[in-house]
């Protein structure tokens, strides 16, 4: 397991830092991770021996394991997440703030001696394709073997990262499971130092520091400073029957269908189309020399939500997680295979996510935010461009989320600035990915509310700034597959049928689809959607595309209230866009 970096200046600063952290945390020993299969298997052995992992049925789920977490540690804890800077205004009202020196001192006190009796693992990881100028290196120090195993699935660990480190700085992350004490749980980010300190949680979004902490919160600050974007977005290539591929990104809040859309299986009536996955959660987007958006996926695996993943909703994922996968907080069937709500028929007897015997009427057997961690490389429909160091060229950006009312199935913005407003106004229903109530509407601009590492008003300005940086801006769309009719049933069947929506987006980008100009943007004409084989009544299509002006006026009011909380920093340009939108709704031509 030992692969200390070779002697050079950066390696020396890494070694010094590891030594200094060990002095505070006082582990019994230090292990440098190389990311090898041998190392992974020895971690698995350790964890199955001490009960951290349960081996699943190796005939049907080879190399798959189940982890049951502490019931108080099952989702991201936004109230325990802080951005630590000099001034409160740096982080704005959508983030928790601590002054950096105070935060650092507090965390160092809490970390004192926290690894006694444990091993501290040093995980050098690479985010993004090897050899890409856009890729970044981080090093996470952790006392959790579960975190190491997950990091080895989610990122590229070992020499590949150390090689990249040669001439670059790296992000430092310190994590300890501590005592899993929720009252002393902190996930602190120090953008000025490119440092993350996370304590008392082992949950993926809090403890795999490469993911939300590095790839989004810290990376968003770097992106602002360096002129690029770090976004909570999927990236897919949509291949038409003639072989043309159009790449799009999509920002949807946590647990709102990004992974399913990334893995969309075309319906029978569009069987000659293909969807290629580049990313299911995060996109780093840079401008190329022609001002085109180019996106890479910093991650190397899927940390997906299990409930409602099934042969019907996501057959490609069901196939992918049949081997080499770590499941967390799913239920277990009597034959030692995983189970969750929405997978299919409910077994009469099984163990629930806490290991208790479950019988009918006992509530959900799997935790609503139960997860699987699996490598992207075993996904059969991975884009051949996934490893392209330059990334893929982006033609369209899509915003979405769960919204049972208001938002039409799909519509297009009038301009870049109007599209930025669409993203800024995103208000969607909360999900189980974060602790707290599920199904309540909250503002989640660009699906980045929990992940933007600086003042969200400045983040809007940053988005707007691309107008002057690029003559090749992507078109911006919003989609909503969750609209309900008066009877409370979804109007749109979703899943594979969402390709109809993607096709309209591609057609718009290529000047091939008609639209009606409405006050909120360009909405498809019913004829421009490929729905003829879908058996949907015309009245349902009309309902899906309807723009309810009174409801939009209410929405504007609530957006205005949200924007007011951002104070003077809120950009004038968006204020003007908002008043133009209000005017269009009030005075339609």
Q: 142: which strand partners?
A: 121, 175
Q: Does the protein bind Mn ion through residue 78 (CB under 5 A)?
A: no
With CB under 6 A as the rule, give the number of residues binding ligand OXD. 6
Q: Write out the binding residues for ligand OXD, residues 290-329 only, by CB under 6 A.
A: 303
Name the token pair of 74: 């099952």
Of 17-25, 193-201, 247-255, 379-387, which segment contacts Mn ion by CB under 5 A?
A: 247-255
| Partner whose binding site includes residue 303, from Mn ion, ligand OXD, none (CB under 5 to 8 Å by kind) | ligand OXD
Q: Could you say whether residue 430 binds Mn ion (CB under 5 A)?
A: no
Nearest to ligand OXD of 140, 281 (CB atom): 281
Cα distance between residue 531 and residue 585, in whole Å: 28
In the complex, least distance from residue 83 CB atom to Mn ion, rounded to whole angstroms = 18
CB closer to ligand OXD, 205 vs 423: 205
Report the alpha-carbon distance of residue 177 to residue 175 in Å, rounded: 7
Report the partner that residue 320 touches, choosing among ligand OXD, Mn ion, none (CB closer than 5 to 8 A by kind): none
Tell whether residue 34 is a contact of ligand OXD (CB under 6 A).
no
Asked if 358 and 349 count as a contact pair (C-beta separation under 8 A), the reply is yes
Question: Smallest distance from the beta carbon of 405 to Mn ion, in angstroms?
Answer: 24
- Pick from 90, 143, 281, 417: which binds ligand OXD (CB under 6 A)? 281
Does residue 508 interact with ligand OXD by CB under 6 A? no
248 — phi, psi (to 5°)?
A: -130, 155
**Cα three-residue angle 281-388-63, rounded to 5 degrees:** 55
- Which of 210, 136, 134 shows the shortest CA–CA distance to 392? 134
The candidate with the shortest Cα–Cα distance to 2, out of 27, 47, 39, is 39
276 binds ligand OXD (CB under 6 A): no
At 429, list the tokens.
């229903």
433 binds ligand OXD (CB under 6 A): yes
Q: 58-80 b/e with 16+ CB inside 10 Å = b? A: eeebeebbbbbbeeebbbbbbeb
User: Dihedrals φ, ψ of 64, to 5°?
Assistant: -110, 145
In this complex, which beta carbon is closest to Mn ion, that of residue 371 or of residue 503? 371
* 422 near ligand OXD (CB under 6 A): no
Say if CB 284 and CB 295 are below 8 A apart: yes
| Residue number, 98 or 208, with CB nearest to Mn ion | 208
For CA atoms 47, 77, 299, 240, give the dihedral sign. Answer: positive
User: Interface with Mn ion by CB under 5 A: which range of 195-203, 277-285, 306-314, 388-396?
Assistant: 277-285
Give 70-124 as a 3 state SS string.
CCCCCCECHHHEEEEECCHHHCCCCCEEEEHHHHHHHHHHHHCCCCCCCEEEEEE
The structure tokens 């049928």 sit at: 497
| Count of other CB atoms within 10 angstroms of residue 344 | 11
Site for ligand OXD contains 178 (CB under 6 A): no
Least distance (Å) between residue 422 CB and ligand OXD: 20
Which of 76/418 has CB closer to ligand OXD? Answer: 76
Judged by CB, which is closer to Mn ion: 212, or 462?
Answer: 212
Cβ at position 299, least distance to Mn ion in Å: 10
Q: Which is nearer to ligand OXD, 44 or 447 (CB)?
A: 447
Cβ nearer to ligand OXD, comparing 301 with 338: 301
According to the binding rule CB under 5 A, does residue 577 interact with Mn ion?
A: no
Is the Cβ of residue 254 or residue 262 nearer to Mn ion in the bound state?
Answer: 254
Name the minimum Å distance from CB 205 to ligand OXD: 5
State which of residues 81, 198, 206, 254 lies at the interface with ligand OXD (CB under 6 A). 254
Is residue 254 close enough to count as binding Mn ion by CB under 5 A? yes
Residue 284 or 303 having the CB closest to ligand OXD: 303
The secondary structure of 474-536 as a DSSP string is PEEEEE-S--B-TTS-BSS--GGGHHHHHHHHHHHHTT---EEEETTEEEE-GGGS--TTS--
Distance of CA 100 to the CA centre of its chain: 26
Residue choice 21, 40, 65, 76 for contact with ligand OXD (CB under 6 A): 76
Structure tokens at 267: 């319906």
Q: Which is nearer to ligand OXD, 203 or 411 (CB)?
A: 203
User: From the list 35, 92, 158, 205, which residue makes contact with ligand OXD (rule: CB under 6 A)?
Assistant: 205
- When CB distances are held under 5 to 8 angstroms depending on the partner's kind, the choice from Mn ion, ligand OXD, none that residue 205 binds is ligand OXD
Question: How many positions of this chain bind Mn ion (CB under 5 A)?
Answer: 2
Per the listing, tokens 């290629």 go with 276
C-alpha triplet 10, 12, 18: angle, nearest 5°: 105
Residue 299 binds Mn ion (CB under 5 A): no
Q: Which one of residues 281, 299, 341, 555 is an interface residue with Mn ion (CB under 5 A)?
A: 281
The stretch near Mn ion (CB under 5 A) out of 120-128, 274-282, 305-313, 345-353 is: 274-282
Q: Which of Mn ion, ligand OXD, none does residue 76 bind (CB under 5 to 8 Å by kind)?
A: ligand OXD
Compare residues 76 and 194 and give the one whose CB is closer to ligand OXD: 76
Centroid of chain to Cα 226? 22
DSSP secondary structure code for residue 348 in this structure? S
**Which parts of 517-556 interact with ligand OXD (CB under 6 A)?**
none
Residues facing residue 528 across a β-bridge: none
CB of 76 to ligand OXD, least distance (A): 5
Tokens, residue 226: 């360096």
User: C-alpha angle with apex 252: 410 to 565, nearest 5 degrees?
Assistant: 100
Binding site for Mn ion (CB under 5 A): 254, 281
Binding site for ligand OXD (CB under 6 A): 76, 205, 254, 281, 303, 433
């Amino acid at each position: 397991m030992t692969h200390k970096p070779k002697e050079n200046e950066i390696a020396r600063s890494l070694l010094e830092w590891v030594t200094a952290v060990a002095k505070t945390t006082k582990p019994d020993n230090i292990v440098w991770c190389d990311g090898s299969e041998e190392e992974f298997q020895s971690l698995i052995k350790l964890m199955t021996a001490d009960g951290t992992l349960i081996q699943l049925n190796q005939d049907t789920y080879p190399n798959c394991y189940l982890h049951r977490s502490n019931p108080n540690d099952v989702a991201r804890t936004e109230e325990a997440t802080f951005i630590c800077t000099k001034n409160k205004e740096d982080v704005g009202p959508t983030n928790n703030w601590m002054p950096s020196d105070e935060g650092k001192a507090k965390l160092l006190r809490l970390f004192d001696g926290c690894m006694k009796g444990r091993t501290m693992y040093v995980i050098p990881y690479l985010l993004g394709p090897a050899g890409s100028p856009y890729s970044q290196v981080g090093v996470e120090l952790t006392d959790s073997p579960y975190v190491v195993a997950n990091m080895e699935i989610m990122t590229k660990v070992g020499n590949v990262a150390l090689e990249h480190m040669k001439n670059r700085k790296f992000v430092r992350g310190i994590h300890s499971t501590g005592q899993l004490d929720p009252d002393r749980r902190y996930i602190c980010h120090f953008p000025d130092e490119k440092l993350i300190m996370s304590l008392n949680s082992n949950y993926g979004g809090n403890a795999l520091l490469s993911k939300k902490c590095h790839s989004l919160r810290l990376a968003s600050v770097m992106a602002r400073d360096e002129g690029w974007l770090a976004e909570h977005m999927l990236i897919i290539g949509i291949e038409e029957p003639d072989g043309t591929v159009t790449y799009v990104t999509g920002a949807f809040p946590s647990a709102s269908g990004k992974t399913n859309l990334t893995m969309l299986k075309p319906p029978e009536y569009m069987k000659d189309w293909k969807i290629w996955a580049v990313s299911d959660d995060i996109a780093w987007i840079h401008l190329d020399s022609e001002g085109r958006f180019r996106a890479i996926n910093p991650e190397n695996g899927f940390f997906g939500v299990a409930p409602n993943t099934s042969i019907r909703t996501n057959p490609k994922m069901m196939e992918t997680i049949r081997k080499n996968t770590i499941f967390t907080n799913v239920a277990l069937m009597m034959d030692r295979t995983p189970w969750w709500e929405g997978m299919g028929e409910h077994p009469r007897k099984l163990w629930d996510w806490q290991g208790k015997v479950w019988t009918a009427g006992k509530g959900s057997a799997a935790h609503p935010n139960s997860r699987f961690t699996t490598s992207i490389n075993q996904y059969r429909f991975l884009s051949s461009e996934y490893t392209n160091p330059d990334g893929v060229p982006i033609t369209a950006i899509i915003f979405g989320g769960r919204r049972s009312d208001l938002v039409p199935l799909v519509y297009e913005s009038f301009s870049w600035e109007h599209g930025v407003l669409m993203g800024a106004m995103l208000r969607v229903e909360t999900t189980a990915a974060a602790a707290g109530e599920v199904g309540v509407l909250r503002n989640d601009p660009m699906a980045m509310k929990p992940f933007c590492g600086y003042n969200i008003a400045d983040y809007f300005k940053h988005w707007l700034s691309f107008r002057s940086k690029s003559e090749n801006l992507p078109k911006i769309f919003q989609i909503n597959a969750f609209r309900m009719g008066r009877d409370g049933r979804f109007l749109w069947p979703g899943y594979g049928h969402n390709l109809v929506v993607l096709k309209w987006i591609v057609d718009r980008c290529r000047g091939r689809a008609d639209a009606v100009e409405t006050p909120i943007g360009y909405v498809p004409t019913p004829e421009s959607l490929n729905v003829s084989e879908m058996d949907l009544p015309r009245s349902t299509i009309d309902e899906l595309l309807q723009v309810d002006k009174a409801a939009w006026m209410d929405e504007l009011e609530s957006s205005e209230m949200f924007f007011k909380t951002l104070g003077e920093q809120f950009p004038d340009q968006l204020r003007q866009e908002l008043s133009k939108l209000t005017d269009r709704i009030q005075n339609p031509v």
